[in-house]
C-alpha cells in the first residue's frame, strides 16, 4: 500500500514538473522569439539610419566646409577645408580666440558655426619621433613639427631647421614665411596639415582608428560615427571602409 501511494506521489510530482516545464518552455520560446524579432527590427532600423548617414556624407563631404582643430589643453591650430577637388586651398584660421573659449567650455555648436562638420584632433595622438615627413623641398621630423606647434614661435623654429639644409639666413627664411602665411598661427595650421596628411597616407583608416580610440571629436556625431566609437574597431572596420568609399565616390 505504501509503495502504491509513493508511486502515485512520484508520478504526480513528475506530471506537475512536466506541466511546469512545458509552460516555461512555451514562455521561453515566446521570449526568445520576441528578442529575435526586436533584434531583427533593430538591425533593419540601424542599417537604414547608417545608410542614410553614409548617403549624407557622400553628398556633403567634398562640397561642404569643415573645421579641423588641433588641440590638447588648448587649441594650437585650426583649418577650414572643403576636401573638394575643385575647391580652393585650405584656409588657415588666424584668430583662435572664439574657438578657444568655446573649446574649453565644450561648446562644439559654437565652434561648428555654419560649417558641415567639426573635427577636433588631439595633438597627443601624433607620436613625437624622428620619422621624416616631406615638407616642400625638404623633410622635417615629427618631433620638429610637434615641437614647433607647441612653441610660441613655430616659424622661427622651422626656419632654423630649413636654414641647415638650404644655407640661407634664418631671418630671411622667417621673414619670407611670415610674408607668405601672414602669422605664426596660420603657419601652425600648415604643420598640422602635414602631420594629418602623413597619418592618412600611411593608413587610410587613420582618422577612424584614432576616433575609435577617443583621440578625435567629431561634431555633429551621427549614427555612423557613434557606431564606430561604441564597438571594437575590428568589428566595424567594414563600416569605416564604407565611409571612406562614400567619401571618395
SS3 content of the chain, % helix, strand, coil (to 5): 65, 15, 25
Distances (CA, A) of 84 to 79, 119, 120, 178: 14, 17, 20, 27
Burial class (CB in 10 A: 0-12, 13-18, 19+), 122: middle
Residue 153 vs residue 82, higher pLDDT: 153
Residue identified by cell 602623413 is 198
10-45 per-position pLDDT tens digit: 666 666 666 665 666 666 555 655 565 455 454 444
pLDDT tens string 45-78: 445 455 556 666 666 666 678 899 999 999 999 9
pLDDT tens digits, 177-236:
898 888 999 999 999 999 998 998 888 788 888 888 889 998 998 877 777 777 776 666
Residues forming a β-bridge with 132: 141
Residue 40 pLDDT? 47
Residue 77 CA to its chain's centroid (Å): 17
Amino acid at each position: 500500500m505504501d509503495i502504491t501511494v509513493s508511486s502515485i506521489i512520484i508520478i504526480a510530482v513528475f506530471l506537475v514538473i512536466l506541466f511546469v516545464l512545458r509552460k516555461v518552455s512555451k514562455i521561453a520560446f515566446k521570449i526568445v522569439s520576441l528578442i529575435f524579432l526586436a533584434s531583427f527590427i533593430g538591425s533593419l532600423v540601424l542599417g537604414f539610419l547608417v545608410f542614410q548617414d553614409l548617403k549624407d556624407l557622400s553628398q556633403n563631404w567634398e562640397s561642404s566646409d569643415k573645421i579641423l582643430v588641433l588641440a590638447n589643453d588648448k587649441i594650437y591650430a585650426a583649418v577650414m577645408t572643403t576636401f573638394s577637388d575643385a575647391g580652393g586651398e585650405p584656409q588657415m584660421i588666424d584668430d583662435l580666440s572664439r574657438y578657444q573659449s568655446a573649446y574649453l567650455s565644450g561648446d562644439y555648436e559654437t565652434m561648428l558655426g555654419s560649417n558641415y562638420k567639426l573635427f577636433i584632433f588631439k595633438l597627443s595622438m601624433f607620436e613625437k619621433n624622428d620619422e621624416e615627413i616631406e615638407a616642400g623641398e625638404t623633410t622635417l621630423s615629427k618631433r620638429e613639427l610637434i615641437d614647433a606647434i607647441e612653441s610660441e614661435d613655430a616659424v622661427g623654429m622651422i626656419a632654423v631647421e630649413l636654414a641647415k639644409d638650404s644655407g640661407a639666413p634664418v631671418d630671411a627664411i622667417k621673414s619670407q614665411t611670415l610674408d607668405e602665411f601672414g602669422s605664426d598661427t596660420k603657419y601652425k595650421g600648415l604643420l598640422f596639415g602635414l602631420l594629418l596628411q602623413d597619418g592618412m597616407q600611411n593608413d587610410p583608416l587613420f582618422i577612424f582608428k584614432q576616433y575609435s580610440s577617443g583621440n578625435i571629436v567629431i561634431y555633429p556625431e551621427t549614427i555612423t560615427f557613434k557606431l564606430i566609437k561604441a564597438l571594437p574597431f575590428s568589428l566595424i572596420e567594414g563600416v569605416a571602409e564604407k565611409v571612406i568609399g562614400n567619401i571618395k565616390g
